[in-house]
A and B are shown apart, each in its own frame.
Chain A
Amino acid sequence: MPEVPDEKPPPTVTPGRVIIALCLLAPFVTLLWVGSYAKIEPTFIGIPFFYWYQMLWVPVSAVLTMTAYQLWKRDQRSREGGASK
């Protein structure tokens, strides 16, 4: 599955787009690597690490997607004109 939304016909790799891809890819790497967080300690207000760490990733991932969205809008604006229609 292509992670970079290569929407325009000539898909060029720009630093901005690499960052977009990384923002979208990061949650997959961290959350699918279950071994990295399958433990009890350290607990947070009594909640085992396994649970609060994954819940922490909800806002983190939302911020990453938001960053990708903003970068994408900027990317589109800079391409306006040459790539429309």
Chain B
Amino acid sequence: MKDGVNGVALAVFIFFFVAVTVMGFLAARWRKAANENSLDEWGLGGRSFGTWVTWFLLGGDLYTAYTFVAVPAAIYAAGAAGFFAVPYTILVYPLIFTFLPRLWSVSHKHGYVTTSDFVRGRFGSKGLSLAVAVTGILATMPYIALQLVGIQAVLDVMGVGGGENTHWFIKDLPLLIAFGVLAAYTYSSGLRAPALIAFVKDTLIYIVIIVAIIYIPIKLGGFDDIFAKAGDAFAQTNPATGQPRGSLAPGEAGQWGYATLALGSALALFMYPHSITATLSSRSREVIRRNTTILPLYSLMLGLLALLGFMAIAAGVKVDNGQLAIPQLFETMFPDWFAGVAFAAIGIGALVPAAIMSIAAANLFTRNIYKDFIRPDATPAQETKVSKLVSLLVKVGALVFVLTMDKTVAINFQLLGGIWILQTMPALVGGLFTRWFHRWALLAGWAVGMVYGTAAAYGVASPTQAHFGGSSKEIPGLGEIGYIGLTAFVLNVVVTVALTFVLRAVKAPEGTDETSPSDYTADAGDPGVKTELPAPTSGGPGGH
């Protein structure tokens, strides 16, 4: 890390990066449709992806570079508590099995590109739709920024980026180049670019994980030794807290936190705009259901990856910044060329989600802010143009964020983003199953959840931070420590249900519902559902 540039690793890294860049630009010609100037084409890849492309795309999208760095880093730092990512990603799939096909159907029928499109169409409320859109954009921005943190970690370990005294421009140049290239091909190829690159990314990731999980334990003397060493390390007292550093299994006190974090994160994942973008780009609702049965392969990979955190401890990797633990482990254990492959996997792993996230955020802005509030008469071609530009702006914003502010700011915001995005669930998932909730009640519930979640997270202190020190806090009335996002969500639902009773009693105007029950089960090929929609304008503002 401090002993100069790792030339071989860097060369391998650059080779893959260049290959992926070429693919990104060529992707524009892949499965190209006649009408390229529509948001369906640029922002959803023509809604044409089959089971395997969707599998790679969703896998590439959900399991980000930050995940690869942060999950083992959490294990490295505290042990068992960091493993919640595994139950979290297991619970996601049965959950989305129940509601995503309905969202796919109604979106296909009405040409919805974003979740806010659906909320507006279902509840006839631009206010509620705006709330969902703003929440989505706010939650996505720091997530993009964190992908940069993932790339930075890899560059740091390869010795690129210079020391503390290097001029900031030279130091950040590799990152600037990586993001400039990413922005360019996202702009020209849209969702097709990350879809194609995802193949490379996931293939590399799977190879690296399989090799790591076999090769490293052999070198370290087996799992018995690894866990014995990790157990000793966790038992040592942390001078900052006066308590043991961590544990191999969560104690009584940590179990509520573990379960609520897993459940809350599982509920939140498919509220994120980038998850929905990847879902809506699939060809049929069968593709989605089938994917819920094959996506768990990624969860297995994540579990193995998490175990690398223990290996980093056993291998004697000592880093102040936990995020460097895994890249450093790779550099220590692997021959240079394979370390390069591993770094490329993480680096490319950052590009795929960053591209999809910026497209998703851009779609939200274009459809639910620009078209609903600024230019209601925008044509599909204008929409696409705005979306492309906004996708650039979003990335520049994320870059400025990471370069000018402390990394912890991005992490804090990402933590908040998870709490926030969960508050859109009653409107979205509730709306997919019932029209009973009142739109104003949903808006009020959302506001209460947002305010409570933000205030509660602000109040969490850690040994190193006065605010936003973590995502768990005592659950009011229960006395257990639990995930703030889930507490806020429960509060949100209670307010929504109570106010719905009140608003229904006083007969407050309900708004127009442009969907009909059969829309939720429509599949490709049904009347009124084209496999490839020509223009995303059928669900115009206030449409019916």
Chain A contact residues, CB within 8 Å of chain B: 1-9, 23-25, 27-28, 31-35, 38-40, 43, 45-51, 54-55, 57-59, 61-62, 64-66, 68-69, 72, 85
The answer to whether B289 touches A3, judged by C-beta atoms less than 8 angstroms apart, is no
Q: Is B102 an interface residue (CB 8 A)?
A: yes
Contact stretch, chosen from B83-91, B133-141, B380-388: B83-91
Per-residue A-contact encoding for B207-230, CB less than 8 Å = 1, 0 else: 000000000000000111111000
CB neighbours (8 Å) of B259 from chain A are 31-34
Least CB distance from A47 to B in Å reads 5
The answer to whether B249 touches A54, judged by C-beta atoms less than 8 angstroms apart, is no
Least CB distance from B424 to A in Å reads 14
The answer to whether A32 touches B262, judged by C-beta atoms less than 8 angstroms apart, is yes
The answer to whether B296 touches A62, judged by C-beta atoms less than 8 angstroms apart, is yes
Q: Is B531 an interface residue (CB 8 A)?
A: no
Q: Is B243 an interface residue (CB 8 A)?
A: no
Least CB distance from A52 to B in Å reads 9
Q: Is B429 an interface residue (CB 8 A)?
A: yes
CB neighbours (8 Å) of A23 from chain B are 94
The listed residue (A40, A48, A55, A68) touching B97 by CB distance below 8 A is: A68
Extra contacts, 10 of them, besides A33-B259, A45-B224 (Cβ < 8 A), are A1-B98, A5-B102, A6-B433, A27-B91, A48-B248, A54-B86, A57-B90, A62-B294, A64-B94, A65-B93
Q: CA–CA, A6 to B83, complex, Å?
A: 33
CB neighbours (8 Å) of A40 from chain B are 248-249
The listed residue (B86, B250, B263, B289) touching A72 by CB distance below 8 A is: B289
Per-residue A-contact encoding for B298-311, CB less than 8 Å = 1, 0 else: 01100110110000
A46-B296 contact in complex given A28-B91, A31-B262, A61-B90, C-beta closer than 8 Å? no
Q: Is B413 an interface residue (CB 8 A)?
A: no
A51-B263 contact in complex given A46-B227, A65-B293, C-beta closer than 8 Å? no
A7-B93 contact in complex given A38-B250, A55-B303, C-beta closer than 8 Å? no
Q: CA–CA, A31 to B262, complex, Å?
A: 9
Closest to B259 in A: A32
CB neighbours (8 Å) of A25 from chain B are 94
Q: Is B332 an interface residue (CB 8 A)?
A: no
Least CB distance from A16 to B in Å reads 15
A-B contact pairs, 29 of them (CB 8 A): A1-B98, A5-B97, A5-B102, A23-B94, A24-B98, A31-B90, A31-B259, A34-B250, A34-B259, A35-B252, A39-B249, A45-B223, A46-B224, A47-B223, A48-B249, A50-B249, A54-B90, A58-B86, A58-B296, A58-B299, A58-B300, A59-B296, A59-B300, A61-B93, A62-B294, A62-B296, A65-B97, A65-B292, A65-B293
Q: Is B518 an interface residue (CB 8 A)?
A: yes
CB neighbours (8 Å) of B256 from chain A are 34
Least CB distance from B253 to A in Å reads 11
Q: CA–CA, A43 to B222, complex, Å?
A: 13
In chain B, positions 64-105 with a C-beta closer than 8 Å to chain A are 80, 83, 86-87, 90-91, 93-94, 97-99, 101-102
Per-residue A-contact encoding for B301-340, CB less than 8 Å = 1, 0 else: 0011011000000000000000000000000000000000
CB neighbours (8 Å) of B91 from chain A are 27-28, 31
Closest to A36 in B: B255
Q: CA–CA, A57 to B300, complex, Å?
A: 9
Q: CA–CA, A50 to B250, complex, Å?
A: 9
Q: Is the interface of B mostly helix, strand, loop or mixed?
A: helix
Least CB distance from A54 to B in Å reads 5
Q: How many residues of B contact A (CB 8 A)?
A: 49
Least CB distance from A35 to B in Å reads 6
Q: CA–CA, A5 to B251, complex, Å?
A: 36
CB neighbours (8 Å) of A85 from chain B are 518
Least CB distance from B90 to A in Å reads 5
The answer to whether B249 touches A38, judged by C-beta atoms less than 8 angstroms apart, is yes
The answer to whether A8 touches B521, judged by C-beta atoms less than 8 angstroms apart, is yes
The answer to whether A2 touches B93, judged by C-beta atoms less than 8 angstroms apart, is no
The answer to whether A34 touches B83, judged by C-beta atoms less than 8 angstroms apart, is no
Closest to B224 in A: A46
The answer to whether B433 touches A2, judged by C-beta atoms less than 8 angstroms apart, is yes
Q: CA–CA, A51 to B225, complex, Å?
A: 16
The answer to whether B227 touches A47, judged by C-beta atoms less than 8 angstroms apart, is yes
Closest to A24 in B: B94
Least CB distance from B520 to A in Å reads 7
CB neighbours (8 Å) of A3 from chain B are 98
| Closest 8 A/B residue pairs (Cβ) | A46-B223, A46-B224, A34-B255, A62-B296, A24-B94, A31-B87, A50-B249, A55-B303
A46-B222 contact in complex given A7-B102, A55-B303, C-beta closer than 8 Å? yes
CB neighbours (8 Å) of A8 from chain B are 521
Q: CA–CA, A10 to B293, complex, Å?
A: 27
Least CB distance from B375 to A in Å reads 37
CB neighbours (8 Å) of A66 from chain B are 293
Q: CA–CA, A62 to B289, complex, Å?
A: 12
The answer to whether B86 touches A55, judged by C-beta atoms less than 8 angstroms apart, is yes
Least CB distance from B54 to A in Å reads 15
Chain B CB within 10 A, most for which of A7, A8, A64: A7
The listed residue (B224, B249, B263) touching A32 by CB distance below 8 A is: B263
In chain B, positions 218-272 with a C-beta closer than 8 Å to chain A are 222-227, 248-252, 255-256, 258-259, 262-263
The answer to whether B250 touches A51, judged by C-beta atoms less than 8 angstroms apart, is no
The answer to whether B296 touches A51, judged by C-beta atoms less than 8 angstroms apart, is no
The answer to whether B520 touches A7, judged by C-beta atoms less than 8 angstroms apart, is yes
